[in-house]
Amino acid sequence: MAALGRHRACPYKGTNYMTVNNQNIDTSPLVDPACYAAATAAIRAEAARLFETGEVTAVVGYRAGRRAGTVMPEVAVTAEAAAQLIFSPGCQNNLTLFLSKAKRDALPKGKVAIVVKGCDLRALAGLIGESQLKRDEVHVIGVACPGVYGAAADHSRPLTADSAAKKCRECKVHLPEGVDLVAGTLPELKELPPLEAQELARLEAMTPQERWAFWTEQFSRCIRCLACRQVCPFCFCTQCLCDRNRPQAVDTSPRPAGNTAWHLVRAMHLAGRCSGCAECERVCPMDIPLNLLNRKMAQELYELYGFEAGTQPQEQGALTSYRDDDDESFIK
Ligand code: SF4
Ligand code: SF4
Ligand code: SF4
């Protein structure tokens, strides 16, 4: 994971993208689908080798879902199951979710292998930094990743500029570094207008009053399903402050005051930890732009402290530190 540790120019800053014309988005296939097939073959070959040598007890990866083009997480515990693993534009999930201590029960004991995209690798570095696992407990199969579908994409069609996840449009980690194997090779990629950066620039241009009105409106739609929490690799507390009702810190029903409190708690608890995988936004049934808030917080952290999450395992974050013996009695 050491190769993740380079200090780069702030990725959130500096360009006014407001002039980009989104009406001219290219809808032709983004890449040759053969590159996904090549990554699939490499993942299967590595998984077969790992089971044959007994190096791992499980491979966490993706397998085809029931409907055309859909994909679901798979914890393969046999060579036969691992032979069904795939990589395709439907591989949206950040599988590092399975590796936090709170969720390791889903895995058999022993070393496990995991399939990660470059953006997922940032979460892996964060989880190692927060003592959720050790690097030598995991065999990392990185994927040369040209992109995955966005939340509303039709999975039965090839990936296009239109259907790709917004995060993929400005990805700088298509090729994961510091992994045990890179599956597949990266095809030539088109340059796409960075929609997330445009949204962030729009937010930055607002007055504080406009920003408050914007977020109040967004948060008012929240139904408190907590899908965003369940899918986040960093929401691994065994007792969430926002579930507690004796005494109640945050109103658990979907009403304005409780919604605002929930989103502020969430933003603050993830500031300096969020890896930007955008899974929270993808699963939100109310289309709340959670990753816009994540990016805004990441930008603030960078500007204030020069801190960027997920570039390398770091025990001490900009706002947080984690120890195994931290006292959690105050939330019990
Ligand atoms: S952000 Fe990059 S690594 Fe992550 S899914 Fe998109 S293209 Fe792949
Ligand atoms: S997933 Fe969306 S609707 Fe559900 S709690 Fe999170 S922000 Fe609210
Ligand atoms: S807050 Fe969202 S973007 Fe950040 S790590 Fe969690 S799921 Fe990923």
Ligand nearest to the CA of 262: 2
Give the distance (Å) from ligand 2 centre to CA of residue 149: 20
- Which whole number is the average pLDDT over 232-257? 83
**Measured distance CA(319)–CA(312) in Å, rounded:** 16
Same domain, 204 and 237: yes
Contact 112, 139 (CB under 8 A): yes
Residue numbers of the domain that contains 13: 2-183
- Which whole number is the average pLDDT over 212-231? 95
Of the pLDDT bands very low, low, confident and very high (cuts 50, 70, 90), residue 251 is confident
Q: What is the pLDDT of residue 150?
A: 95
| Closest CA to ligand 3's atom 2 | 280
Q: What is the pLDDT of residue 24?
A: 57
Residue 83 within any structural domain of the chain: yes
Domain boundary among 163, 183, 203: 183
Give the distance (Å) from ligand 2 centre to CA of residue 195: 22
CA-to-CA dists, residue 69 to 12, 27, 153, 171, 248, angstroms: 32, 18, 10, 22, 43
234 lines ligand 3 (CB under 6 A): yes
Domain boundary among 183, 203, 223: 183
Residue 233 within any structural domain of the chain: yes
Per DSSP, the residues of 224-286 read ---HHHHH-TT---SS-GGG-BTTBSS--SSSHHHHHHHHHHHHHHHTTT-----HHHHH-TT
148 lines ligand 1 (CB under 6 A): yes
**Measured distance CA(311)–CA(263) in Å, rounded:** 25
Strands (E) in 117-236, as ranges, are 138-143, 181-183
- Which whole number is the average pLDDT over 75-81? 97
Same domain, 164 and 296: no
Q: Indicate the number of domains in the chain.
A: 2
Poorest-confidence range of 174-178, 251-255, 271-275?
251-255
Residue 190 within any structural domain of the chain: no
Same domain, 231 and 315: yes
Residue 88 within any structural domain of the chain: yes
**Measured distance CA(35)–CA(211) in Å, rounded:** 42
Same domain, 133 and 203: no
| Closest CA to ligand 1's atom 1 | 168
Residue 238 within any structural domain of the chain: yes
Q: What is the largest CA-CA distance in the chain?
A: 61
Q: What is the pLDDT of residue 257?
A: 86
Domain boundary among 161, 183, 205: 183
Same domain, 137 and 203: no
The ligand 2 atom at the shortest distance from the C-alpha of residue 227 is: 1
Same domain, 38 and 116: yes
Residue 20 within any structural domain of the chain: yes
Residue 188 within any structural domain of the chain: no
> Residue 209 contacts by C-beta under 8 Å, 6 or more apart in sequence?
none
Instruction: Enter the tokens of residue 243.
Output: 């579930």
Same domain, 179 and 199: no
Residue 189 within any structural domain of the chain: no
Same domain, 174 and 242: no
Strands (E) in the chain, as ranges, are 58-64, 71-76, 112-116, 138-143, 181-183
Q: Which of 116, 279, 281 to mutate to test the pocket of ligand 3 (most atoms within 8 A of CB)?
A: 279
CA-to-CA dists, residue 321 to 86, 303, 315, 316, 324, angstroms: 36, 20, 6, 5, 10
User: What region, left, alpha or beta, does residue 231 occupy, with left being phi > 0 and alpha being psi -120 to 50 degrees?
Assistant: alpha
- Which whole number is the average pLDDT over 195-216? 95
145 lines ligand 1 (CB under 6 A): yes
Same domain, 14 and 160: yes
291 lines ligand 3 (CB under 6 A): yes
274 lines ligand 3 (CB under 6 A): yes
Give the distance (Å) from ligand 2 centre to CA of residue 298: 20
Q: What is the pLDDT of residue 332?
A: 55
Same domain, 213 and 160: no
Of the pLDDT bands very low, low, confident and very high (cuts 50, 70, 90), residue 3 is very low
CA-to-CA dists, residue 147 to 20, 50, 78, 94, 318, angstroms: 21, 26, 28, 13, 30
Contact 74, 85 (CB under 8 A): yes
Contact 198, 18 (CB under 8 A): yes
Percent of the chain with pLDDT over 70: 87
Radius of gyration, alpha carbons of the chain: 20
Q: What is the pLDDT of residue 316?
A: 65
Helices (H), strands (E): how many in the chain?
10, 5
Same domain, 323 and 243: yes
Of the pLDDT bands very low, low, confident and very high (cuts 50, 70, 90), residue 16 is very low
What's the pTM? 0.86
Chain mean pLDDT for the chain? 87
For the stretch 278-331, pLDDT in tens is 999 999 999 999 999 999 999 998 888 887 776 666 666 667 776 777 777 766
Same domain, 45 and 112: yes
